[in-house]
Chain A
Amino acid sequence: MYKTEKARPTLRSVRKQLFLMTVGFVALIIAVVAIVTTLIFAKTDSLLKSKVISLTSSLNVQMKLNLDSYLSRMETVGTLAFGVKDAYTYDASDPDNDEYEALNTEKDITDELNKLCIMDNFVDYGIVYRNNRTVGKISNGTTNLLGEDMFDKLSAMITRQRTKDGWAAGYLGNFKRIYYVKRVHENALIVLSFYTSELEAVFDNPETLGDMDIRLVNSDYNILYSARKDETGERLNDDILSRVKGKASASVMDDYYLVTVNSCGDDWYVICSIPTEIILAENNEMRIFIIIIALIAALTAAGLGMFISAKLTSPVKRAVSLLDVKATTDQLTGILNKQSFNERTAGRLDPKLGSESHALILLDLDNFKGVNDTLGHVYGDKVLAKTGSILKSEFTTEDYLGRIGGDEFCVLVNSTPPEGQDYISYITERCEALKTAFTGLYTGDDSNYKISASIGVSLFPKDGTTFDELYVASDKALYRSKKAGKDTYMFYDRTKDSEVNG
């Protein structure tokens, strides 16, 4: 990149402004799309969360109703035992019982109780007396669990004083069964139980909500039922517990979990939970879709904007470019004007780059004043224009060509000689070519006015390392060419040119 570009601040400034405008426009489009997209995300998240909370809350209520209904039915079946007269009048712990009659009464009660519970999956459905004698169906599992003082342990499960009954699970850490106990009379309790796994049907959630964890916990937040069998009996994990602890009916949703809770029965709670990321998984797919659409929209808008911008600014660019050309170019010759040439040349010559070779060729038309005076300025201008053409044809686009005075031209040779040719020879060749080009140059109405040029050449870095140094050197060489009879070229020679000057 030539430092010379600094020489066109106006054009640079205009281009920069255009670039900034374009970038600003694209940024604006992206910002608008990003803001709109963010607003859409926020709104859809809000709507989705609201709907999911509502649905989950409804599911939880439905599960609670299912459970209430199930437990109520169990209680009803238990209460049916009061339809068996002996069941609420007989007392096996009465020491006055006739043993044989008692035996037969117990058989009768057992038969009647068995009929009442026959179609349900009860593990226990029987009566336990204060002396721990049992009638009906009392399972080995329950006998093993509660041991010899079964009556007292079952009595402790009664929590509702009005109906003298209660539900219990987790005795001694055993969560296999859920018990319902109801007092029959002072010395008798009816006890029924079912396997906790029976609640699978109660808490069977739809396939579409398969990721939802549904748990039943007691007042200590120990899990009585969970579809994850391994956590039955465990304490509800802290992540879920911290969100619902102390709440009887609530729905909580944050970045990590959606949890709903509803109390039921004897201080039991139905708790539904699902990680938020699962809920938002589908939403994330939608987000990706929206982002893709937004990107397409943004790119389309930006492309369209850039296209329109380019269309709108191209006349300005052209005008600016034209002005720039006019500002830097000599209109008559089509080569650089003095200021531009000086700036570019000064920018190109770097004293630190001593290994580079340049030549500054200073060319002055011989007797040009005579042309103007004799033939008029029209012919003079033609000669100047022709000189510009000659310079363009004899030098490459790498070289800087400039008109630096009325009839004074300057060339900074930047091009390098072909391989095998030394630099002096190369420059000499260029000068010879220039001289030859002027050899057949005539002007005037009859084309009889001979035009020639005197040329002075200095070399970088030998004769100078700055434009000013080289210019002075070339000027001295040019002077020597003039003195030698014009129409020739001279290389700066420190010894000779010192004499000249001296």
Chain B
Amino acid sequence: MKCKRLLAGLTAFSMILSAGSCGNEQLVRSQNVQTEITLSWWGNDTRTEYTLAAVRKFEQLHPEIKVKCNYSEWSGYEARSRIRMISDTEADVMQINVSWLSEFSEDGTGYYDLSKVSDVLDLSNFSEDYLRYGVRNGILNAVPIAMNTETVYFNKTIFDKYGLSLPETWDDLFAAAEVMSADGIYPLSGVAKGLWLYSIAYAEQKTGKTFFTENGEPGFSQDDYRTMIDFYVDLVNKNVIPKTEDFKKISIASGAYAGTIAWVSDAVNYLGAAMDNGNEVIAVDYTAFDPADSGKGWYEKPATLYAMSKNTDHPKEAALLLDFMLNSKEWALLQGVEKGIPISHSALDYLEEAGMLTGLQYEASEVMANNLNLREMDPRLELTSVIDAFVDACDLVLYDKATADEAAAQFMAVCNESF
């Protein structure tokens, strides 16, 4: 009996000891494995900040997904994007320019076929009229975010100071320059692409031709190119604008520029500081010979589009992010109208509910939406090499290095090669 008690006691004691010891057991601790996807975009500080914030929200909602971000301002971004695309190192989800669709996805296979992830990506928020901008060869390569066009913005406060009404015609602009130039103020300004498209609008209105014909052929002759060059040189020489190389955004805020040309999606980026300084800024109708023809020679396009890499290893995760960027309330409210008025019905509803459909970009979008003369932009109009060649040609004339005809001939050679 005593032996049994002793045995029971020893057993209990050994159980206590064994409960407290882990001796030689192998300790295994597993880390949470996240699926890493990449996201790339270009844009200013504001866009970068809200995009990073929105990505963090996405990661909170999907802790199993890690989003690695790749971003910078526009300058140089296009070249980097080209290298990424060519070297198959592009991001899983990309903000792209509409012109890249034709450049990288001629047959529709350059980007992921988004219809394959329509179970995750809600495409019902987009009408076919808009989705077609992202379709190449019948394949949905990209989804547009908003529509965009180069728009003219004037600092009404400055014009009021000179007793001038806001220019509606080309002549109004030159007349304003005559008044303002005495004070070193330019009534208009712009970066190369804006002034390039501005010159096309002028030339199309003047010649009655289109830069590209309906079947996509170049529609301008050398004389027509010369018309563009002459117009740009006139703008510079008559102090309507500073040379594009001399353009400084800060001069808009300082009041040295009384107007500028900028995308709808860039309105606040360019003019926000001027408005913060107490100036009244107006998005006006598109400049024309006759105000009734406003919008003729002007083009609209998707502001930007979102696409997925054709090489993505994680299409579902990438589509989840894409859907969040296009259709979620969180993203919509953070993004606001920074990229323009969203095309996504749900995003638009969220903004409307939140009373966020206001401000200069919204007003510029309204100008765009109310103008029936705008035509769909051919992506080739945004070819950087052509735009640079145009500026070079203009500089030749500006610095008396060539005649306008010679410059037009040189430029036409570049166009013929590029188109």
Contact = CB atoms under 8 A, between A and B. Distances in A.
Interface in A111-126: 114-115, 117-119, 121-123, 125
A54 interface: no
Interface stretch (A135-143, A217-225, A335-343, A370-378): A135-143
A293 B19 CA distance: 9
B215 interface: no
A330 B16 CA distance: 54
Would you call the interface of chain A mostly helix, strand, loop, or mixed?
Answer: helix
Contact of A100 (B12, B19, B68, B395): B395
B70 A121 contact: yes
A121 B16 contact: no
Nearest to B248: A143
Contacts of B388: 107
Contacts of A117: 76
Contact of A119 (B9, B83, B245, B253): B83
Interface string A133-167: 00001011101100110000000000000000000
Contact of A207 (B12, B31, B73, B273): B31
B209 interface: no
A106 to B, nearest CB: 7
Given A118-B80, A140-B269, A207-B32, A123 B73 contact: yes
A114 B76 contact: yes
Nearest to B71: A121
B26 interface: no
B305 to A, nearest CB: 21
A128 to B, nearest CB: 12
Contact of A103 (B72, B245, B249, B253): B245
Contact of B250 (A118, A143, A207): A143
Contacts of A13: none
B386 to A, nearest CB: 15
Given A123-B72, A197-B52, A144 B250 contact: yes
Contacts of B75: 114, 137, 139
Contacts of A296: 16
B16 A293 contact: yes
A289 interface: yes
A317 interface: no
Contact of B245 (A106, A148, A229, A289): A106
Contacts of B31: 206-208
Interface in B235-249: 245, 248-249
Nearest to A121: B72
Contacts, number: 74
Given A144-B249, A144-B250, A293-B16, A118 B83 contact: yes
A151 to B, nearest CB: 14
Nearest to B13: A300
A144 B46 CA distance: 13
Interface string B387-406: 01000000100010100000
A256 interface: no
A117 B273 CA distance: 28
Contacts of B45: 141, 176
Interface in B61-99: 68, 70-73, 75-76, 79-80, 83
B169 interface: no
B373 interface: no
Contacts of B245: 103, 106-107
B399 A99 contact: yes
Contact of B16 (A99, A106, A125, A297): A297
A140 B73 contact: yes
Contacts of A229: 53
Contacts of A107: 245, 388
Contact of B20 (A140, A201, A293): A293
Contacts of B52: 197
A117 B31 CA distance: 35
A70 interface: no
A195 interface: yes
Interface string B188-199: 000000000000
Given A100-B401, A114-B79, A208-B31, A140 B249 contact: yes
Contact-size category for B: 35 or more
B64 to A, nearest CB: 13
Contacts of A143: 248-250
A71 B13 CA distance: 60
B44 interface: yes
B48 interface: yes
A57 B253 CA distance: 48
Contact of B253 (A144, A207, A289): A144
A314 B401 CA distance: 125
B32 to A, nearest CB: 6
Given A118-B83, A119-B80, A289 B20 contact: yes
B265 to A, nearest CB: 14
Nearest to A100: B399
Nearest to B53: A229
Interface in B271-306: 273
A103 B70 contact: no
B80 A147 contact: no
Contacts of B399: 99-100, 103
B94 to A, nearest CB: 15
B44 A141 contact: yes
B80 A140 contact: no
B83 A103 contact: no
A118 to B, nearest CB: 5
Contact of B48 (A195, A201, A293, A300): A195
Contacts of B248: 143
B268 to A, nearest CB: 12
B16 A103 contact: no
Interface string A407-418: 000000000000
Contacts of B80: 118-119
Contacts of A206: 31
Contacts of A289: 20
A156 to B, nearest CB: 19
B389 to A, nearest CB: 12
Interface string A176-209: 1000000000000000000101000100001110
Nearest to A106: B245
Interface in B1-40: 9, 12-13, 16, 19-20, 29, 31-32
Contacts of A123: 72-73
A148 B70 contact: no
B54 to A, nearest CB: 13
A100 B395 CA distance: 8
B48 A118 contact: no
B397 to A, nearest CB: 11
Residue among B19, B31, B250, B273 with the most chain A CB within 10 A?
Answer: B250
A122 B72 contact: yes
A207 B9 CA distance: 45
A197 B56 CA distance: 12
A225 to B, nearest CB: 13
Listed from nearest, the 4 A-B pairs whose CB atoms lie closest are A100-B399, A137-B75, A114-B76, A141-B45
21 contacts: A100-B395, A104-B395, A114-B79, A118-B80, A118-B83, A121-B71, A123-B72, A123-B73, A137-B73, A143-B249, A147-B250, A148-B250, A195-B48, A197-B48, A206-B31, A208-B29, A289-B20, A293-B16, A293-B19, A293-B20, A300-B12
Given A125-B76, A207-B31, 15 more contacts: A100-B395, A103-B245, A103-B395, A121-B72, A137-B73, A139-B75, A143-B248, A143-B250, A195-B48, A197-B52, A208-B31, A289-B20, A293-B16, A293-B20, A304-B9
